[in-house]
Each structure stands twice: as structure tokens, then as C-alpha cells.
A and B are shown apart, each in its own frame.
Chain A
Amino acid sequence: MGPFLFSPFTFAHMPDCILRTHSLSKSFGDFRAVQDLNIEVRPGEVYGFLGQNGAGKSTTLRMVLSLIRSSSGSIELFGKSLDKERKYILSRIGAVVEKPELYGYLSAYKNLEIFARMSGIRADRQLLMKTLNWVGLESRANDPVKVYSQGMKQRLGIAVALVHDPELIILDEPTNGLDPQGISDIRNMILDLSRNKGKTVIVSSHLLSEIEQVADSLLIIHKGKKAVEGKVVDLLRPEKSRVEWWVSDSDRALSVLHEKNLAAEFTRVDMTKFIAVMPAAATAEVNALLVQHQIEVQAIRSMNALEAYFLSLTSEHAVQ
């Protein structure tokens, strides 16, 4: 292996799908953690895997990494069956599953060296230091990991995932427990890996805001089932935004708006609040109309369809 962290990339010999699952299911006793999940991840994209805590994200990713055996269904990576080609497949994957726990009594350098060898490469000092440098830990290479902050451990976990130059990187909740700066650092790393290094990245989170900032495609999983899947640009399209209005009199406001026959759906919530499903661009027009009819507009909150959908799941969860 040469002294470079990332080899020049090409998708020429890649299969059309890096990861494909077919009717993937996992049960723990009577509890069905994942049900009939079909996923397709294409080369070079950042694939967001979104869901609340306990939705089945980690279980799915653990099945993809062969940490958990599926109850039924199949998993194909790089065009090969995970059951038959586990070793070959894992040599092309780097992963951080939940918290990146490493050997606290060893230094970052030693941890990286050990996992590089476990990944099948004999990395020299130059490569190991280059990898640590990429995640900003070069100056702390010889410190024992037990003194590292959560953010530093997360970055070291990513270094361990990358040291053997894998084509697919799986990051399970990589921003959990990080401060804003740490979250921003991880986000930038993911974007760099995808945009500049040609890596395919699967990243899971329970935070929509995290996923929508980095993902090209996303899947929302809810109670173990696929809820929504698609390209982020499509899902965030502003044609059908959900706009919440706080006004002085919602009944009068709705009466005015219904008279105008706008291309929108309105729902009264209470005396001072109503919701409109409408193009985001029409917000100014509606606002002007209400003001014109001397209805005081106290606040407006706009959400895209995806945000609204995810919020509805959260609300449902909260009620339960």
C-alpha cells in the first residue's frame, strides 16, 4: 500500500448499486425490529438513513455489517451476497457503529495501526500519521485514547474506518454527543469524502437537519418499515410546504383565504392558529391578503414536506 490515504477513484467498475437489500427483516423474539426493508444505495452518493431512536436504523446497519444475522431477506454489497462473500465485502467497507469505542489504554496511533492490520493492510508510519492528520489528531497521536473527548474519539473512529481506503463508509449516528463544532467537523468530513474522494457514504441519524445537509438520497424508517425514500432535492421541493400561521382570528382568516380559491389546503387548529399546505412562494401573497383584511399575523413557520412528515412521526411518538 502506498503512502496515500485516498487512492484515485473511479466508478467505472462499480456495480450500479453498492448496497441492495431485499425484504430484509429482523425479529428479536416477538418484536419485529426491521420489516421487509428494501434499500438501494448507488456509488458515490451520501445516503441518509433517518429515523427516531429505536426505529431500526442501527439494527439494519448491523445486519449490513454482518454483526447481526437477519431473520429473513438478503443483503448484496458490491454485487455480491454478504452471506457468501463476507470477508471480501468487509475489506471494502469502513464503519463506525454508534459510539466509536476503541482501546482506551492504547494510543490513537496504536489503535489505528491495530485496526489497519485487522483490515488487511500493513500501514507504515507515514500513512497512519497522514490518516490521523486528515481527522485532525496528528498532534495527539501518542496520547492514550482514554483521555480523548467524545469528539476526538469520533474522529479517531472515522480514521479507523478510513485507513484501509474503503469504497463504502457506514457511519451510524456519527454526531451523537458532539458539540456544534464537532457536528460541523463531521459534516464537512462526510461531504469531503463524497464530493472529493468519491466515497459512498451511508449515514444514519435521528436528526433531519443533519441528514438533509449532507445526503443526496434518504430513507426514513419508522417502526422498522420504510416510510419515505427518495432524492433529497425531490423530497425538499418547496411546492408543498407546510406553513403554520398564528393570527388574531383564524376563522376570519380562513374565510378570506377560501374566498380567494388559492391552490392550497387549509386546516384550522384553534382560534388563533391554522395550517396551510401550499407552495412556499405563496406565503408572502397570503400574508399580504390577511393584512389587507386587517387580520393581524403574529407568526409564520414554514416547513418542507419532509420536515412536516418527520414531525408527524415525532408527534405520533410523543403521543404514544
Chain B
Amino acid sequence: MRFSDLVHIELYKIFRKPRTYIAFAAITAIVSIIQLGFYADGKSFMQFGLQSLSDSFEIQGNILNGYLMTYLILQLLLVHVPLLIVLVSGDMISGEAAQGTLRLLLTKPVSRTTLLLGKFTATVIYSLLLLTWMAIWALGFSLVIFGADDMLIMKSEVVTQILSSDILWRYILAFGYAALAMTTVAALGFLLSIFAENSIGPIIATMSIIIVFTILNSLDLPFFNSIKYYLFTTHMLGWKGFFDVQLNEDNQQIVGSIENLPAIIYSALMLFGHILAYLFLSFLFFRKKDILS
């Protein structure tokens, strides 16, 4: 059988399950609620946020624009999207084992490696579709509702202004990077689903790992700092780097610049390394697994 047929079958199975649509519904609901909240009360919120700046600077234009909305939504949501990805990836093998269909699948003339690769490819496609949906809803609709303008990003001591003409490509790369981060989460959920006979175990286990790693990231202690660079959750936030720009001598943005591109590439490679490691372990264990379910 062709590999594309296998992926097609797996995608068909994914999209015939109601739980698949929970993630799409959740993203739609959360993004809509945030957009509605800012549409109703965003101006006073922005005035409050820019209070300290207004004393020294005159700020003109559409500050609460679609680009800033998308940035705020991504900051809030990209931490939680992994939990939605795991709903599907953690179920890919364990769900088949729980239903008893895994043994039937493995009596068919398809190698275990091919089957696993087909299922993983389908999981990645699902993750990409979810992110695309999020991009359309967060970026597309925010631009329609709030319009476009330069984006002000406030950090602890710095306010960066990015020209509106220099933003879209950054979002494209940010969503591309997010896809890599979500694929890492999918690969972890996929690996854990090999060891379980039901879906709940790997889903909860993956969520727990993400939560624990995220907590470790936020603790600024020397012991944890030494291991942070090896945790994939540290590198999942690398998408923000696309919105750090280089400044010229007049402290103005250099159009098309990224402040620390090597750091983003390093983080992307770390995520890629995690994906390969999880996949390698998945193949290793699955090839030798006795199907007793």
C-alpha cells in the first residue's frame, strides 16, 4: 500500500472522531472571547498600560491593532495549545490498543515502522491544521476587526515599535516556529501512547511533563538554570524572538532585522532534536512491542 494511502486513512480516522473538534472549538472560543473583550474595553486597557509612557511620549495611531491583538493572543494561547495537540497525539497508538484495532492493523502487510510513520505524519498534519486555524482566527480576524498599524511591544524596560510593513513575515515565521514546537509536543504524546493501553494515561502524562517543565522554566534557581536548556519547553517560546528587532544608532528599528537569529536557530534545532529523539524511541519500542491487547 502507498504511504499516502496510509496517511489518508489515518487522517480520515482522526477527523471522524468528535474529540478532534474539541481543539478547534476551544481555539475558536478562546480567541473570540479575547477579541470581544478587547473590542469592548480595549481602549481603556491600553490607556492604562501606556500610562507611564504617555507622560514622556506622544503616542498616535491605532495602538490596539490586529497585529498587537495577535501577539497578545499568541502569548496567552501558545502555552495551552500543546494540551489540545496531545488530545489527538496521545490517542494515536493507545486509542487503537484500547479499541482492540491495533492487533488487526498489525496483521496487515504494513511494516510497523511504516504504520508508525503514517500515524505520526497524520498527527503532524492535524497539528498544522490546528495552527493554521489559529492563525486565520487570531491574525486574520484580528486584522479585520482591529485594522493594521505599527506594533508596540512592551517589555520590562524597552518598548519596541515594529513597522506594520515589517510584521507579516514575522508572523509567518512565528507560526512556522510554533508548528515545530507543536510537533515536538505531538512527538512526545506519540511516544507515550506506545506504552499505554488507553488514551487517558499518555494524554495526562504528556500534559504533566509540559506543566512540570514549564514550572521549572519559570524558577530562577541556579540548579534549574543548568537543566533549562535541555527542556523542550524552554525552546517552545522561541517564536517571540522574531519580534525582537535590531536598532540603528538613532534607536530606530532596522527593517527586516532580527535581534538574535542564532538563538532562534539554536532553539529550533533543539526542538528538532527532541522530535528526532522521541521518534527514534517510538520506533525502537514499537518495533519490539508484543501486542497483547
Contact = CB atoms under 8 A, between A and B. Distances in A.
Contacts of B155: none
B284 interface: no
Given A99-B100, A104-B99, A118-B110, A67 B291 contact: yes
A103 B111 contact: no
Contact of B105 (A104, A106, A118, A157): A118
Contacts of A65: 106-107
A93 interface: yes
A162 interface: no
A115 B17 contact: no
A98 B108 CA distance: 16
B108 A90 contact: yes
Contacts of B108: 90, 115, 118-120
Contacts, number: 77
Central interface residue in B17, B99, B107, B292, by most chain A CB within 10 Å: B107
A87 B110 contact: yes
Interface string A177-198: 0000000000000000000000
B16 A93 contact: no
A86 interface: yes
B1 interface: yes
Interface in A84-142: 86-91, 93, 95, 97-106, 114-115, 117-120
Contacts of B105: 118
Given A68-B291, A68-B292, A101 B99 contact: yes
Bin chain A's interface residue count. Answer: 20 to 34
B112 to A, nearest CB: 9
B5 interface: yes
Given A69-B290, A114-B9, A117-B9, A97 B104 contact: yes
A136 B49 CA distance: 70
A69 B108 CA distance: 16
B109 A91 contact: yes
A106 B14 CA distance: 12
A67 B105 CA distance: 10
A223 interface: no
Nearest to B2: A117
B28 interface: no
Interface string B65-78: 00000000000000
Contacts of A105: 16-17
A66 interface: yes
Contact of A102 (B16, B101, B107): B101
A252 interface: no
A8 B163 CA distance: 74
A160 interface: yes
Interface residues of B, number: 24
Interface in B68-104: 99-101, 103-104
A42 interface: no
A183 B255 CA distance: 77
B188 to A, nearest CB: 25
A115 B99 contact: no
A117 B110 CA distance: 10
B288 to A, nearest CB: 7
B43 interface: no
Contact of B104 (A68, A87, A102): A102
Given A117-B5, A117-B9, A100 B104 contact: yes
B100 A101 contact: yes
A101 B1 contact: no
A90 B101 CA distance: 16
A62 interface: yes
Given A99-B100, A104-B99, A120-B1, A66 B106 contact: yes
Contact of A67 (B12, B13, B101, B106): B106
Given A68-B290, A68-B291, A99-B100, A117 B1 contact: yes
Nearest to B290: A68
B101 A97 contact: no
Interface string A134-174: 00000000000000000000000100100000000000000
Contacts of B106: 65-67
Interface in B1-56: 1, 5-6, 9, 12-13, 16-17
Interface string B181-208: 0000000000000000000000000000
Contacts of B104: 95, 97, 100-102, 115, 157, 160
Nearest to B291: A67
Given A101-B100, A106-B16, A117-B5, A67 B109 contact: no
Closest 5 CB pairs of A and B: A101-B100, A91-B109, A67-B291, A118-B108, A90-B109
25 contacts: A67-B106, A69-B288, A69-B290, A86-B111, A87-B110, A87-B111, A88-B109, A90-B107, A90-B108, A90-B109, A91-B109, A95-B104, A97-B104, A97-B107, A99-B100, A101-B99, A102-B101, A103-B13, A103-B16, A105-B16, A114-B9, A114-B12, A118-B6, A120-B1, A120-B108
